[in-house]
Chains A and B, each alone.
Chain A
């Protein structure tokens, strides 16, 4: 059974700092990996999608990498801002014959202090 772990569970940084969020998964047989942002009491906003054949994806100040063989992904946020404060969720799409579900980690709660 695929399991996803995110470290750290919570992170507090001063504005302007570069930071890294970590995600690990137990089974390397995946279609893709997605990073999401969730504001308190809200739905999920997709940030980046990395297909299993890709090594990284970039969008603005965000860069996500994928090392499928070691079961790891990182989300790098450059020059953090108070507006980046949210919960960041990592999810993998396991290779299965049927279904298309995402398996999520519990998330990293990020607070960027001004």
Chain B
């Protein structure tokens, strides 16, 4: 069964350092999402791509976060510099192009900023 792949699974970094996460969506899924989940809360969307274009990045802290999906397949989310409040689970999801389609989530990357 096809799955969304993410790496690394765990990342520990010091405050002010740069960190990057990678996501490979299910083959054929044109839409890719990055969500952030703070402990004890539900996930919140950071950025959504349709192919290689950003559809929604209204909740992305653009002063320190960036995201790209250059060839419309895999994606990278970067934080520079990392802050203590960035400690969270970063989840990637993908879906078919249809707007009512089901979203499939990857295993997530657990980030701890010290």
Residues of A within 8 A of B (CB): 4, 31-32, 34, 36, 41-46, 49, 51, 89, 91, 93, 98-102, 104-107
Closest-by-CB residue of A relative to B9 is A41
Q: How many residues of B contact A (CB 8 A)?
A: 28
Q: Can you list 13 residue pairs at the A/B interface with Cβ under 8 Å?
A: A34-B103, A43-B105, A43-B106, A44-B91, A46-B103, A46-B105, A89-B43, A99-B48, A104-B43, A104-B44, A105-B42, A106-B40, A106-B41
Interface residues of B in 64-114 (CB under 8 A from A): 89, 91, 93, 95, 99-108, 110
CB distance from B55 to the nearest CB of A (A): 5
Q: Decide if B55 touches A44 in the complex (CB within 8 Å).
A: no
- Known pairs A42-B108, A43-B107, A46-B102; A104 contacts B42 (CB<8 A): yes
Q: Are B102 and A34 in contact (CB under 8 A)?
A: yes
Contacts of A4 in B (CB 8 A): 42
Question: Which of chain A's residues has its CB closest to B107's CB?
Answer: A43
Residues on B with beta carbons closer than 8 Å to the beta carbon of A105: 42
- What is the predominant secondary structure among interface residues of chain A facing chain B? strand
In the A-B complex, list the 7 residue pairs whose CB atoms are closest, starting with the nearest: A104-B42, A44-B105, A99-B56, A101-B45, A43-B107, A31-B100, A43-B108
Q: Does B21 contact A (CB under 8 A)?
A: no
- Specify which of A4, A31, A34, A99 lies most central, judged by the most chain B CB atoms within 10 Å of its CB: A99
What residues of chain B lie closer than 8 Å to A36, measured between beta carbons?
105
Contacting residues, chain B, for A102 (C-beta < 8 A): 43, 45, 103
Cβ contact within 8 Å between B41 and A101: no
Residues of chain B with a CB closer than 8 A to A41's CB? 89, 110
Q: Please tell me if the beta carbons of B42 and A91 are within 8 angstroms of each other in the complex.
A: yes
CB distance from B71 to the nearest CB of A (A): 20
- Closest-CB distance, B99 to chain A (whole angstroms): 5
Q: Within the complex, which residue of A42, A46, A51 is in contact with B100, where a contact is CB–CB below 8 Å?
A: A51
Contact A44 B43 (CB under 8 A): yes
> What 1/0 mask marks residues of chain B from 28 to 57 whose CB sits below 8 Å from any chain A CB?
000101000000111111001000000110
What would 11 more interface pairs be, CB under 8 Å, given A34-B103, A43-B4, A100-B31? A31-B100, A41-B89, A42-B107, A43-B106, A44-B91, A44-B105, A46-B102, A99-B55, A100-B48, A100-B103, A106-B42
